[in-house]
Chain A
Amino acid sequence: KAGVTQTPRYLIKTRGQQVTLSCSPISGHRSVSWYQQTPGQGLQFLFEYFSETQRNKGNFPGRFSGRQFSNSRSEMNVSTLELGDSALYLCASSSYGTGGYEQYFGPGTRLTVT
Chain B
Amino acid sequence: GESVGLHLPTLSVQEGDNSIINCAYSNSASDYFIWYKQESGKGPQFIIDIRSNMDKRQGQRVTVLLNKTVKHLSLQIAATQPGDSAVYFCAENGGYQKVTFGTGTKLQVIP
Range, interface on chain A: 20 to 34
Count of inter-chain pairs, beta carbons less than 8 A:
69
Q: Is there an interface contact between B6 and A39, defined as CB atoms closer than 8 Å?
A: yes
Q: Is there an interface contact between B96 and A90, defined as CB atoms closer than 8 Å?
A: no
Q: Is there an interface contact between B96 and A48, defined as CB atoms closer than 8 Å?
A: yes
Complex Cα distance, B34 from A13, in Å, reads 34
In terms of DSSP, what is the predominant structure of the interface of chain A?
strand
In terms of DSSP, what is the predominant structure of the interface of chain B?
loop
Complex Cα distance, B98 from A42, in Å, reads 15
Complex Cα distance, B42 from A90, in Å, reads 10
Name the residue of chain A whose CB is nearest to the CB of B99: A45
Chain A residues proximal to chain B, CB less than 8 Å: 4, 31, 33, 35, 39-45, 48, 50, 55-56, 58, 84, 90, 92, 94, 96, 101-108
